[in-house]
Amino acid sequence: MSDMLWQYILVFVGAFLFDVVPFPFPPAFTIMVFLQIVFKLNVWIVILVGVAGSILGRYVLTLYIPKIAGNIFNPDKNEDVHYLGTILKEKGWKSQLVIIAYSLLPLPTTPLFIAAGMAKLRPIYIIPAFFVGKFTSDTVLVFLGKYGTENTEKMLQGAFSWQSFISLAIGILLLSALLFIDWRSLIQKKEFSLNFRIWK
């Protein structure tokens, strides 16, 4: 175990880096599966360490994204996403169920945390539900990766397969929806409109 400590640290750092970036990236379970297969690590430790890295990454993302958003997006877009975050907060347990359900899917959760960060939601409103969904989905996916992959070459083919690219494309689509849809008009007036003039 002590000989593999640096490898588990690598799992933590990898999951952290995958989930701290402010743009859709392959889900963190891909790096977790990859490292578990390559180094033949204990699956449960990989899951615990990897999920901890993911949660810390998402937490840091919610802390710094408001500062970045304020510098690159215009005030209207920031207010728009802040309003969306407020609605998310007001829905209470229903929002928690949505976060859990979304986290169960093998999709990047970047848009979810960017919305929460830009809306300046306290992490306590989103992290616990994210943990439940993330731990559950990563457990299933890492075990599937362990038993469904016989060697590193096949694992790489699985990690960067068309499914991974589809999940990345969906993440980009969701992030685009977050940024370019006028959410206040949609929610308050039931009018769908797009606004591409969001930059300063």
Q: What is the pLDDT of residues 27-86, one digit of tens each?
A: 888 899 889 888 989 999 999 999 999 999 999 998 998 888 777 777 777 777 777 777
Res. 189: pLDDT tops 50: yes
Residues 91-116 have a mean pLDDT of 78
Return the pLDDT at 48: 96
The percentage of residues in the chain with a pLDDT greater than 90, rounded to a whole number, is 24
Secondary structure of residue 194 in the 3-state scheme? strand
Tell me the pLDDT of the chain averaged across its residues.
Answer: 79
When pLDDT is cut at 50, 70 and 90, the band that residue 150 belongs to is: very low
Torsion of CA 29, 34, 35, 39, to 10 degrees: 140
Residues 82-97 have a mean pLDDT of 75
Angle at 136 between CA 59 and CA 88, to 5 degrees: 50
pTM assigned to the model? 0.72
Return the pLDDT at 20: 93
Closest to 66 (Cα-Cα) out of 57, 75, 55? 75
Highest-pLDDT range among 10-14, 158-162, 170-174: 10-14
| DSSP one-letter code for 74 | -
Task: Work out whether the CA dihedral 100, 19, 26, 181 comes out positive or negative.
Answer: positive
Return the pLDDT at 180: 74
Return the pLDDT at 118: 77
| DSSP one-letter code for 181 | B
Res. 149: pLDDT tops 60: no
Return the pLDDT at 200: 54
Return the pLDDT at 74: 76
